[in-house]
Amino acid sequence: MKGINKGIAKGGKNYYGFPIGILMLHSQFPRIPGEMGNAYTWDFPVLYKAVKGASPEKVVTDLTPSLIEPFVNAAKELEAEGVRAITTNCGFLAMFHNEISSAVNVPVFSSTLMMIPMVYRMLKPGKKVGVLTVNSATLTDRHFDAVGALEIPKAIQGLQDEEEFTNMILEDRLEFDIDKAREEHVRCARKLVEENPDVGAIVLECTNMPPYAKDIQEATGLPVFDITTLVNMVHNALVKHPWKGIM
């Protein structure tokens, strides 16, 4: 990529400079810093596109093919607006990965579940990947299969039996208790590793979980991978900078 003050600059769009496009569920619950839908989470510009009809409850508990077209169309719009790669703000959208990626010409990384095979290969043989999810009851083999993670040894723990975090998302509440949500994440992460001592690292399925990733890491002593891990990695691949220094 040429510097902005060199070569010929070409137009054709209303705005520029968004390396990452994010397909958003249609929701209104609070998105605190660290959460994917809060722009302060990122050290670079991102372009959001909300998908009408894609409520958190529908995507997590009743994701049907009727939503494929709205997500595909939204992805095409992001591509036309100039993004260099596209992601989503729900790990359950792994189910639509192939449909979305087939519809555009830029890289698509639909879900943090895509990291599971990579994380597994990092671990000592015999270790599992722990998956912390908003709802383990509705996270199925189809989600894992869509992103190549079905056969990977893993242990899954959901937050659906907790009071604050999952209900805030699925009921699309206008407020929630951050401290309670943090306690729920720590409690469930500890349960995950206590019941599965062979877990060597944790992947957070839900893109609303990164604000609590440090707490989870401190509580378990394990590496924690979340959507910010994945987005930052892809951004680094898209926007390289020259190295500076001396020898």
Query: pLDDT digit string (tens) for 41-82?
Result: 999 999 999 999 999 999 999 889 999 999 999 999 999 999
Q: CA torsion 213→215→219→221, rounded to 10°?
A: 50
Same domain for 47 and 146? Answer: no
Q: Could you tell me the strand order of the sheet in which 199-204 lies?
A: 154-158, 128-133, 199-204, 224-225
> Nearest 5°: CA angle at 26, between 21 and 31?
75
Asked whether residue 11 carries a pLDDT value surpassing 70, the answer given is: yes
pLDDT at 3: 54
**Residue 60, domain member (yes or no):** yes
Number of domains, the chain: 2
Asked whether residue 246 carries a pLDDT value surpassing 90, the answer given is: yes
Per-residue three-class SS string for 72-138? HHHHHHHHHCCCCEEEECCHHHHHHHHHHHHHCCCCEECCHHHHHHHHHHHCCCCCEEEEEECCCCC
**Residue 177, domain member (yes or no):** yes
**Sorting pLDDT into bands at 50, 70 and 90, what band is 10?**
confident
**Residue 35, domain member (yes or no):** yes
State whether the Cα torsion 218-223-224-229 is positive or negative: positive
**Sorting pLDDT into bands at 50, 70 and 90, what band is 40?**
very high
Same domain for 163 and 149? Answer: yes
Same domain for 155 and 117? Answer: yes
Q: Which amino acid is at 204?
A: L
**Residue 146, domain member (yes or no):** yes
Asked whether residue 85 carries a pLDDT value surpassing 60, the answer given is: yes
CATH number, domain at 163?
3.40.50.1860
pLDDT at 37: 95
Query: pLDDT digit string (tens) for 183-216?
Result: 999 999 999 999 999 999 999 999 999 999 999 9
How many CB atoms lie under 10 A from the CB of residue 48? 15
**Residue 199, domain member (yes or no):** yes
pLDDT at 215: 98
Same domain for 63 and 167? Answer: no
Per-residue three-class SS string for 209-246? CHHHHHHHHHHHCCCEECHHHHHHHHHHHHCCCCCCCC
Same domain for 124 and 159? Answer: yes
Query: pLDDT digit string (tens) for 208-223?
Result: 999 999 999 999 999 9
| Burial class of residue 129 (count of CB atoms within 10 Å of its CB; 0-12, 13-18, 19+) | buried
Contacts of 80 (CB under 8 A, 6+ apart): none
Same domain for 53 and 139? Answer: no
Asked whether residue 135 carries a pLDDT value surpassing 60, the answer given is: yes
**Residue 10, domain member (yes or no):** no
Q: How many Å apart are CA 132 and CA 203, to the nearest integer? A: 6
Same domain for 81 and 163? Answer: no
**Residue 34, domain member (yes or no):** yes
Same domain for 204 and 128? Answer: yes
pLDDT at 4: 62
Query: pLDDT digit string (tens) for 91-121?
Result: 999 999 999 999 999 999 999 999 999 999 9
pLDDT at 242: 92
Query: pLDDT digit string (tens) for 141-179?
Result: 999 999 999 999 999 999 999 999 999 999 999 999 999
pLDDT at 9: 86
Domain enclosing residue 138, as ranges: 112-226
Contacts of 233 (CB under 8 A, 6+ apart): none
The CA-atom distances, in angstroms, between 105 and each of 80, 82, 85, 215, 235 are 10, 11, 9, 37, 16
**Residue 41, domain member (yes or no):** yes
Same domain for 118 and 105? Answer: no
pLDDT at 8: 87
How many CB atoms lie under 10 A from the CB of residue 114? 20
How many CB atoms lie under 10 A from the CB of residue 9? 9
Asked whether residue 2 carries a pLDDT value surpassing 70, the answer given is: no
Same domain for 161 and 120? Answer: yes
> Considering just the CA atoms, what is the radius of gyration of the chain in Å?
18
Same domain for 92 and 134? Answer: no
pLDDT at 6: 76
Same domain for 122 and 46? Answer: no
